[in-house]
Structure 1
Amino acid sequence: AASYFTVARHCFSAAAMRAAASAGSSGAAGAATDASGRPTRGAPAQSPWLFDRQTVENAPSRSWFLQRANGDEVQARKKEEEYRIGSCQFIQDSGRALRMPQLTIATALVFYHRFYAFKSYEHHERFVLSTTALFLASKVEETPRKLKDVVGEALKNWNKHVKDYRVPEPESREVHELKEKVLVTERILLQTIGFDLSIEHPYRPLLAYVKSITGTRDLAQIAWNFINDSYRTTACLQYSPRFVAAAALTLAADRLTRQGKAVQLPNLHKSFEVHEDGVHATMRLLRVIYDDKRKGGGGESGAANAAAAAKAEAPAAVKTEAPAAAAAPAATAPAAAPAAAHARTEQAAAPAEPRQAGRQPVEAGGAAAAVKTEAPAAAPAVANGAVGEKRPYAHLVS
C-alpha cells in the first residue's frame, strides 16, 4: 500500500509540473503550434506532452548552455543541438547493437526528449540517462534486455572510438557502478515522465494510410526513414504523431515525384485529421536537418541557421537508422513548406537521402503491411558532429 501511494504521489506531482510548464508558455497549453505560434488542429486535446516552440526553446538546459557560451545564443543553441544529436545517435547505435526493434528505440528516444524537457544536462549525465531510457524502453515495449547487456553495449558504444579501449568485465567495479546508476536514474526518469509509459508513434498511421491508398513500397519506406529522422529533433514534443506521419509522407511524395514517379496523396489532411499549417511546420523542422547535412554542416551549423531564420524550430543533423529498402538516389525536391512568415518556398534543395538499415516495413507487393523493425546486430559507423570527427561522442562530453 505504501508503494502504491508513493507511486500515485509521484504521478500527480509530475503531471502538475507538466501542466504548470505548459500553462506558462505563450501557446495553448499542451497543444502543438505552427511556426507563427497559432495552435494547430489534429493534436490530442490538452495533451501533457505537446508544447509550443517557446516552451521547448526555454527548456531548463538553455540557461546552462547560455552561461557556458557567455551569453551567445547561437553558440548555446549549437551546443544544445550537439548534445541532443549525439545522445540520440548513441541510443540508436546501442539499440541496434542489442538487436532491439526500431519501435523500442523510438520509445527510448521519446523518453529522452521528455526527460530533458524538464531536467537540465547540468545535473543529469546524458550517457547514464540515455542508457536508462533504452533499458526502460526495452521493458515497456516487451522486448526486454538484461541490464548487464545494456550496460555492456552502452560502454562499448560510448567508447568505441577510444584507441585500445576494452569493455570491462561484467563483474568489474565500473560495470557494477554503472548498473547502480541506471537503476537509480530509472526512478528519476519514471518520476519525471509521470509514469506515463504509453507512447504513440507515427509508424502505424503511416502504414495504415499507405495501405488505404494502395501506395508503393518506396513511398512507405522513404516516409518511414523520415519518421526515424524526426526523433533527432524535438518534433515529438511539438507535434502529434499524425502530424509527423503526414509530413513524412509529403516529403516522401515530393522526393519520388522529382524522380519521375508521380505520387498522389488523396485526402491526406482529412485522413490524418491534421491542419496544413502544422504539417508544413513539421516539414520545415525536418528540412533544415537535410539542408544542413547537404551543405556538409554535420549538425553544427543548424543552430546558426535556425537562429537566423526567424528562430524556427531547433534543427538537428542526423544519420538515419531505418528498415532496409532500395535507397532513392539523392535528388532535389520542391519545398512544400511556407516560409517563416506566410509565403511558400517554390524551389528548395531536397533532403539528403536518409540512411537505411534493418528490415522492410512493407511487403514486396507494394501495399503497407505488418511492421518488422528488428534491426541487425552490426550497426554501421555513423559520423556525428563535424565532418571527419573520429570520435562521434567524445567532442560532446565537455
Structure 2
Amino acid sequence: MNPQWQFPLEALRQTPSTVSIQDEMSRRQRGIDWLMRMGATLNMGLGPCLTGATYFHRFYMRRMLEDYNELEIAATCLFLASKTEENGKRLEDVVTVMLAKVHGIPPAEVAGAYENEAKSLEHLVLTYEEVLLEVLCFDFDVRYPHTYLADIIATYDATSPDPILHSLIDCAWSVAHDSYRTPLCILLPPQIIAAASFLFAQCLAEGPNSPSLTERLEVANSTDTRWRQVLGISENDVQQVAGK
C-alpha cells in the first residue's frame, strides 16, 4: 500500500474539515453505513464495499465535509469502487438505490416519482467522481484485513464442531468489517487490523474468563506464535495491536 495513505493518529485532528472531531467521526460513520447499505442492495459483494469505504476515508483526509456531503461522496466512492473492482454497476442503478433509501420507497418507484432528481444526482456523482480521482491520485490499490484474517483462519480446522471456534471466526470477521465505520483503515496496515480483530474476537468468544488482551499478547509473543507467523508481523507490530 502506498505510504501516502497511512496517517498518524494525530492527523485526524488536522483534517481539512472544520467540524469537531466528534462530528467528523459521526459523519464518517454515517457515510460508511450508507455506503454499505447501498452496496448490499446492489449485491456488490464485500470487496467493492470495503474498497469504496477506504476511498471514502482517504477522501476526507484531503477535502472538507462542509464542501462535500458524506452521503453523496459515499455513493460516488461506491460507484468508483464498482469499476476499479471490476464489479461495474450502472450509474443509474447506484443513483436509484440512493434515492430509494433517501425517500424510503422501493427502487422500482424512483424512476417515475423522482426522475429529475435522479438526473441531477447522476450529474453530481460524475462531477464528484472527477474530484475523487484527483484526491486519490488515481491510486486504486486497496488491501483488506479480511485477506489476512482468512490466512489465520485457514490454520484452524474449519470442520471442527467446536462452537467457540466458529464464534471466534464469525466475530473476528465482524470486527474487521465494523472497523471500516472508523478511519482505522488509513491509520494501520491491514495485517495489524487483522491481528487486532482476531485477538479481540478471542476475548469475546471465550467469555468473561478469557485472558486479558495484555496476557494474550504476551503469550502470542512467546509460545503461541501462529497468528504472528501467518501475518509476518514483528514485536513492534504487536505493540501497535495493543495500542489501538
Q: TM-score scaled by structure 1?
A: 0.52
1:150-209 deviation digits (Å, cap 9, x = unpaired): 001011123329xxxx63538822111111111111111011011111110011110111
For 2:23 and 2:144, locate their aligned partners in 1 and report how far apart those are by CA, in whole Å: 28
The answer to whether the aligner puts 1:102 opposite 2:46 as a matched pair is yes
Separation of aligned partners in 1, 2:140 and 2:64: 21
Partner of 1:281: 243
- Consecutive aligned runs of 4 or more in structure 1 exceeding 4 Å deviation: 259-265
Give the corresponding residue for 2:33: 89
In 2, are the aligned partners of 1:108 and 1:136 still within 8 Å (CA)? yes
Which residue number corresponds to residue 135 of structure 2?
192
Is 1:145 the counterpart of 2:79? The answer is: no
Instruction: Flag the structure with higher helix content.
Output: 2
Contact in 2 for aligned 1:151/1:175 (Cα 8 Å): yes
Contact map agreement 1:148 1:170 (CA 8 A) in 2: no
Cα distance per residue 1:39-96 (max 9 Å; x no partner): xxxxx6x7111110111221111xx21xxxxxxxxxx222212211111111111111
Local SS of the residue matching 1:88: helix
Deviation at 1:260, TM superposition (A): 7.2
RMSD: 2.4
| Residue ranges of structure 2 left out of the alignment (5+ in a row) | 159-164
Q: What SS does the aligned partner of 1:143 have?
A: coil
State the partner residue of 2:188. Answer: 239
Matches within 5 A, 1:164-183: 167-169=110-112, 172-183=115-126
8 Å CA contact retained: 2:203, 2:210: no
CA distance, structure 2, for counterparts of residue 56 and residue 229 of structure 1: 19
State the shift of 1:217 in Å. Answer: 3.1
Structure 1, unaligned stretches of length 5 or more? Answer: 1-43, 66-75, 283-398
The CA distance in 1 between the partners of 2:33 and 2:114, in whole Å, is 27
Confirm or deny: 8 A CA contact 1:90 1:158 kept in the other structure: no
Q: Which AA in structure 1 matches 2:115?
A: S
Q: Distance in 2 between matches of 1:188 and 1:174?
A: 21
State how far apart, in whole Å, the 2-side matches of 1:230 and 1:171 are: 34
1:169 touches 1:175 (CA, 8 Å); kept in 2? no
Task: Measure, in 2, the Cα distance between the counterparts of 1:170 and 1:240.
Answer: 45
1:52 aligns with 2:14: no
Contact in 2 for aligned 1:155/1:167 (Cα 8 Å): yes
Matched, 1:205 2:144: no
What is the count of residue pairs matched by the alignment?
222
Q: 2:110 is paired with a residue of what secondary structure?
A: coil
Query: How has the CA–CA distance of structure 1 residues 122 and 171 changed in structure 2, closer, same or farther, with 3 Å as cutoff?
Result: closer
Q: Secondary structure at the match of 2:204?
A: helix
Show CA shifts across 1:319-346 (max 9, x none): xxxxxxxxxxxxxxxxxxxxxxxxxxxx
Q: How does 1:1-398 map to 2 (within 5 A)?
A: 47-61=3-17, 64-65=18-19, 76-160=20-104, 167-169=110-112, 172-214=115-157, 216-258=165-207, 266-267=224-225, 268-272=227-231, 273-274=233-234, 275-282=237-244
Provide the identity percentage. 25
